[in-house]
Structure 1
Amino acid sequence: MKSHSIRFWLQKVLLLLLVLLFSVSQQSFIIADAAPPVNPQASAKARQLLTYLSNVPEGTLISGQHDYLEAPDEQNNKLQQISGQYAGLHGYEFGGLANQSHAALQEQRQRVVDSAIQWSQSGGIVAITFHQALPGKPKTWKNVQTKLSQAEFNHYITPGTPQYRQLIADIDEIALSLKTLRDADVPVLWRPYHEMNGSWFWWGNKQNYAKLWNVMYDRFVNVHHLDNLLWVWSPNAPNAYSTPYNGTFPGINRVDILAADIYNNDYKASYYTGLLKLAQGKPIGIGESNILPSANVLKNQPTWAYAMTWGKELSTTNSQSAIRTFMNQNNIITRDLLNEALR
């Protein structure tokens, strides 16, 4: 039998198993496998997605591809053109990084929202990253990476200060776009304030980082009722440039999914086992990467639920041959395989 025929039938078998899993998702043995969402009011589709991510078979990985705010489908379409497959997970950006006018930024975010709704309706998973410029400052990359002392950071998480009011205003603005997705019943892997154990963002390596996380969580959950969100805590791999995971962990009761950002093929076993231990049974993923994980990585680190390649890194660090090989492996879940399972 030809290799493509073997792959076809293996994919069909996997798809049948996934469809069966969700057709009986009310049975207690399935629900027991997944921790409930940290938001008690989480939508039915958010709960279903979390259950799915908690039951991705070991050694099987959901493929993911990130796109930029200004062009929310460019890299994902490029992935499909190269490999013949769409990623299972599509990552988007909400942060303004180019000093856009307010009107231009709203228009760009609306295009992201429109793409995400269409993507979800096509059977894919939506993830959104938020590179937030320092509140009150122009929305530029420089102001995402601005240096902030611990004392200065404290002003932004202290109710009643001008900085806190600016933070809340930014959070409320981004909530408007997320409400559109909520109203369209689109579950979202929400990934704010990532790589917080590094020093390159204004929220990085702060002693009380969890307070910032909790300000956004409380505002989104209890004020804006964004019950379509699953909360993704995404530290950098604890390499020479980053601190250990646990120093900036908001707590297991504030996180649905844990995802490490891993670059330059640095898939050390300790990054995986450390995150797995911290997750206490919750799903773990690769929040950002450039080089696609090898078959050997997937064999030795079998519990990763998904991996998201970052933007243009798809083709600048991976050959077209490597992309095609990765996306057409039997253990890589593409959008086609997700389509029926998440309906």
Structure 2
Amino acid sequence: MTALRSRRVVISALAVSLALLGAALVVILAVLPSSNKEEPFLKFEAESGLLQGTMVSKEAEGFSGSGFVTDFTDEQDQLSFEVVAPKAVLYNVWVSYRAPNGNKVAGISLNNQPHGELVLQPNDQFTELKAGKLLLQEGTNTISLTRGWGYYDIDYIKLQKTKPETKHQVSGELVNGNASAEAKKLMNYLVKNYGKSMLSGQTGLDNVSWIEKITGKEPAMVGFDLIDYSKTRAAHGAISYEVEKAIGWHKQGGITTFLWHWNAPTGLIDEPGKEWWRGFYADSVTFDLEKALSDTGSEEYKLLLADIDTIAVQLQRLKDAHVPVLFRPLHEAEGGWFWWGAKGPEPAKQLYRIVYDRLVNKHELNNLIWIWNSVQPEWYPGDDVVDIVSVDSYPTPGDHSPAINYFDNLVALVSNKKLVAMTENGSIPDPDLMKAYGANWSWFVTWEGDYLNDGKHNSQDILKKIYNHSNVTTLDELPDLFGMKKAVDKEE
């Protein structure tokens, strides 16, 4: 049964006043200036919010107040709070939640505009989670938690004014002590640019001309995939020219990044719905990473190493062409949908270290800059093998919020000492909101297909705005890092 309740909270520097008018009780909650350095918390119980399609329950232990809100099941279900601010202020947000049925995602909106997502880890008990930041405007603001994946419970939210932004402490030193001159030069540029401008990026070289046609600009970075160099794909006739394309892009003065949709080295199911070309998905293979790693003498383990050696051949071609590569192996591991993450964090971290050791120490591929692509601390393989941390962000189509929750969590993961990047995205973060929130993404790389050109994830107007924004770097604005622009001028 749906219950509707509302609560309005007025945040001001006035005193608290209560007035009883007839049968109605009007409450004005005021926050006095704090004499302490720490700003006070403002706590809002879920059961006193505005409920749409959801309901108040007491059928669990550990909640505060008189209950919690549950039944986020239908698409329109949500929980909202009205907050009146005397001026525009940036607040940290915490959410107390319970997710007894596995990983969940809740949507967040501010003033009826989508504002990112909140990843809810499985938990039978109510747990307080940092949910990013919200920039409240002067006057009435509506903060909403929308269904997302649904099937979770909300106890309360808390707000606290943000502190002044801490200066990044990132150095240009790479984890590979033998890194190439080109890799060092690229890393130093990224560090120098960090917090000043976001580099534009696009998956697939074939999409660059379309972007230029729409925006008049080309991305500074292009993302390539080693997918079809995987041995079990090549065995089915797959052919790739990604390395040739990447070398060509480098010669234009662009920045190159590679991921690897790694087809499992064995155990492809290859039946309708689980075809061989889906061999990087956990549900389409029988390959067991944990089992393979448990026996270094097994055939499965040897096949893992053989696959890495096969990819090393392609990365060597890039090294020979003096192309520094922002390399992102084992991406989205914590999602569990790829076989390298399906067995949990420990096997994934172990495999990442094997990939690093084999490519750096055996094959001496010193042109690689190493990117880790998961947010949760338990998945992090360690500072000694990671240069840059990142996330892949696919919010609701048209949500151009700065993904501040992801950004802050990654900054905390590495104690603000490594670059933070958005290595894949659907809707691109709005540079104006990034600046307002302090979300200093080093770069973005939009995925292709509908994410780029369906007009829903990124309209042509937003693409024009972003690619021509003063805080976004495009190909023509990159410095001549590798002397390629001079070489092109000579050829012309």
For Structure 1 versus Structure 2, the TM-score category normalised by the shorter chain is: 0.7 to 0.9
Counterparts of 1:290 and 1:181, CA distance in 2:
28
SS of equivalent to 2:282: coil
Other-structure match for 1:11: none
Supply the AA of the counterpart residue of 2:390.
Answer: A
Query: Residues 223-234 of structure 1: matches in 2 within 5 Å?
Result: 223-234=362-373
Q: Which is worse superposed, 74-83 or 254-263?
A: 74-83
* Greater relative contact order (CA < 8 Å, ≥ 6 in sequence): 1
Give the structure with the higher percent helix.
Answer: 1
Q: Distance in 1 between matches of 2:245 and 2:288?
A: 37
Written as runs of structure 1 = structure 2, the 5 A alignment for 1:51-62 is 51-62=188-199
What is the aligned counterpart of 2:464 among 299, 324, 334?
324
The DSSP-based 3-state class of the residue aligned with 1:189 is strand
Q: C-alpha separation between the residues in 1 aligned to 2:299 and 2:328?
A: 25
User: Does the residue aligned with 1:210 lie in a helix, a strand or coil?
Assistant: helix
Distance change (3 Å), C-alpha of 1:253 and 1:98: closer
Instruction: Please tell me whether residue 216 in structure 1 is matched to residue 355 in structure 2.
Output: yes
Alpha carbons 2:247, 2:323 under 8 Å: kept: yes
Q: Report if the CA contact (8 A) 1:155-1:161 is conserved.
A: no
User: What is the match of residue 112 of structure 1?
Assistant: 242
1:14 counterpart residue number: none
1:276-287 → structure 2 map (5 Å cutoff): 276-280=411-415, 281-287=417-423
Map 1:1-343; keep pairs closer than 5 Å: 34-67=171-204, 73-96=205-228, 100-102=233-235, 104-105=237-238, 107-108=239-240, 111-138=241-268, 140-147=276-283, 152-158=288-294, 159-204=296-341, 206-208=344-346, 209-235=348-374, 245-264=376-395, 265=399, 267-280=402-415, 281-299=417-435, 300-312=437-449, 313-316=451-454, 317-343=457-483
1:262 to partner: Cα distance:
0.8
Q: CA shift at 1:76, angstroms?
A: 2.1
What is the CA distance between 1:324 and its match in structure 2?
1.4
Q: Separation in 2 of the partners of 1:91 and 1:274? A: 24
C-alpha contact 1:131 1:144 (8 A) present in aligned 2: yes
Query: What code does the residue aligned with 2:475 have?
Result: R
* Greater Rg by CA: 2
Equivalent-residue separation in structure 2 for 1:81 and 1:61 (angstroms): 21
What letter is aligned with 1:284?
V
- TM-score normalised per structure 2: 0.56
Q: CA deviation at 1:77?
A: 2.2
Tell me, what secondary structure is at the counterpart of 1:297? helix
Q: 1:328 to 1:342 in 2, by over 3 A?
A: farther
Q: Name the count of aligned residue pairs.
A: 296
Q: Residue deviations 1:161-181, cap 9 Å, x none?
A: 111111111111111111000
Instruction: Say which SS state the counterpart of residue 260 (structure 1) adopts.
Output: strand
More strand by share: 2
CA contact under 8 A between 2:264 and 2:285: conserved in structure 1? no
TM-score (normalised: structure 1) = 0.80
SS in structure 2 opposite 1:171?
A: helix
- Structure 2: gaps of 5 or more residues: 1-168, 269-274, 484-492
Query: Once the 2 structures are TM-superposed, how far is the Cα of residue 140 of structure 1 from its aligned partner?
Result: 3.5
Deviations 1:8-49 (A, max 9, x none): xxxxxxxxxxxxxxxxxxxxxxxx962411111110110111
Deviations 1:41-88 (A, max 9, x none): 110110111111111142410000011xxxxx2112221222111100
Check conservation: 1:124, 1:339, Cα contact below 8 A. Answer: no
Q: Percent identity?
A: 30
- With over 3 angstroms needed to count, the CA separation of the structure-2 counterparts of 1:301 and 1:315, relative to structure 1, is farther
Structure 1 residue identity aligned to 2:182: K
Unaligned runs of 5+ in 1: 1-31, 68-72, 236-243
CA distance in 2, matches of 1:33, 1:331: 20
Give, in whole Å, the separation in 2 of the partners of 1:151 and 1:100: 15
2:423 is paired with a residue whose SS is strand
